[in-house]
């Protein structure tokens, strides 16, 4: 029996309960370019979006015909002399896009039948996103929450901010084994999205990381509102038991009573699989009109491996 007070706190493997040391290792992976190299699929995590300017910028974009209002300093005199018509140079300037991470550490996320617990996978995605953002020179902040409360950080551009943010994740993550009751995270998630909407203005990158179990119309409304002036990305963490149940006799319990139930794909098993597939499809399709991408990560593989696998598939296309 686990004790409290002066008794030794039980230790867990990092796949079950994370540590700051475990999360800080992603700094090296990001800085070395081993994950998230420059590629359009993950540009949303970079925090910067190029915008075409009619003036001086950082990177040359193109030459086009002069239009009224163009800065005469950007006229390309060589092309103008060669064609007999006035042409202007167009540049790209990188605009800062602060990243705001919403990390779910509620009790429903303390679940995993394979290698990782969902809450740990959330922590890993948060760490990768945060380190990648400051690598690009942008500010990062966010909300870490569970049923007991939240930690809120406005974006700053520093490694110390990232370390503090990750420590907040660790602190809430390490309380999960002590919780006796699993509660629905719908109302808590909605409250965090409401606080996010009130705190940020526009041109943010908002990354929401959860299993999105039992989202409701209010959740969808907050996400749509956030996407009007910001880039919103949903990261869905799922376990194999969310996806399908093993065939054979299962023991079901509510903590007080217990029952045996035989599962097979000929009965409820097939319906269970179809239900999960439909949920992921609906999640992706209902946010597509609002340009909110949904990324799916499982608890079987390391997050960094899944990112590299996804990028490899896209690069080969």
Mean pLDDT value across residues 86-96: 71
In this model, does residue 7 exceed pLDDT 70? no
Mean pLDDT value across residues 293-317: 79
Residue-level pLDDT at 57: 42
Three-state SS at 56: coil
Q: Contact 76/70 with Cβ under 8 angstroms?
A: no
Tell me the domain boundaries of the chain: 20-47+97-316, 50-95
Q: Contact 304/34 with Cβ under 8 angstroms?
A: yes
Mean pLDDT value across residues 205-233: 93
Among the residues of 136-267, which ranges form H helices?
Answer: 159-173, 186-199, 217-227, 240-243
pLDDT, tens digit, 9 for 90 and up, residues 152-210 = 999 999 999 999 999 999 999 999 998 776 666 678 999 999 999 999 988 899 999 99
How far is C-alpha 84 from the chain's CA centre? Answer: 51
In this model, does residue 212 exceed pLDDT 50? yes
Strands 258-263 and 59-65: unpaired
d(CA 62, CA 75): 12
Residue 72's pLDDT band (boundaries 50, 70, 90)? confident
In this model, does residue 4 exceed pLDDT 50? no
Of 309 and 145, more confident: 145
Distances (CA, A) of 49 to 37, 230, 232: 16, 11, 13
Residue 131's pLDDT band (boundaries 50, 70, 90)? very high
pLDDT, tens digit, 9 for 90 and up, residues 264-290 = 566 666 777 778 888 888 889 999 999
End-to-end CA distance of the chain: 53
The CATH class for the domain spanning 20-47+97-316 reads alpha beta
Q: How many CA atoms lie within 13 A of 129 on its CB side?
A: 29
- Count of Cβ atoms closer than 10 Å to residue 307 Cβ: 21
Q: Contact 206/196 with Cβ under 8 angstroms?
A: yes
DSSP 255: S
Three-state SS at 23: helix
């Amino acid at each position: 029996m686990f004790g409290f007070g002066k008794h030794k706190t039980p230790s867990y493997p990092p796949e079950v309960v994370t540590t700051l040391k475990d999360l800080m290792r992603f700094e090296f992976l990001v800085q070395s370019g081993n994950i998230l190299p420059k590629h359009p699929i993950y540009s949303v995590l970079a925090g910067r979006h190029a915008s075409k300017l009619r003036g001086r910028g950082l990177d040359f974009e193109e030459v086009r015909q002069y239009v009224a209002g163009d800065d005469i300093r950007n006229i390309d005199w060589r092309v103008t002399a060669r064609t007999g018509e006035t042409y202007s140079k167009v540049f790209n300037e990188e605009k800062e896009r602060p990243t705001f991470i919403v990390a779910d550490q509620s009790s429903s996320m303390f679940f995993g039948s394979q290698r990782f617990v969902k809450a740990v996978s959330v922590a890993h995605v948060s760490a990768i996103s945060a380190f990648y953002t400051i690598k690009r020179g942008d500010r990062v902040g966010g909300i870490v929450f569970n049923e007991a409360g939240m930690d809120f950080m406005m974006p700053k551009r520093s490694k110390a901010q990232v370390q503090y943010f990750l420590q907040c994740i660790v602190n809430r993550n390490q309380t999960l084994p002590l919780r006796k009751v699993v509660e629905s995270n719908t109302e808590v998630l909605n409250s965090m999205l409401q606080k996010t909407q009130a705190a940020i203005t526009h041109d943010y990158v908002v990354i929401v990381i959860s299993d999105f179990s039992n989202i409701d119309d209010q959740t969808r409304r907050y996400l749509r509102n956030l996407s009007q002036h910001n880039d919103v990305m949903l990261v869905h963490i799922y376990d194999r038991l969310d996806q399908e149940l093993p065939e054979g006799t299962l023991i079901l319990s509510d903590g007080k009573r217990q029952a045996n139930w035989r599962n097979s794909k000929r009965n409820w098993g097939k319906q269970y699989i179809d239900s999960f597939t439909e949920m992921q499809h609906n999640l992706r399709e209902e946010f597509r009109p609002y340009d909110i991408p949904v990324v799916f990560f499982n608890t079987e593989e390391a997050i960094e491996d899944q990112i590299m696998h996804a990028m490899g598939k896209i690069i080969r296309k």
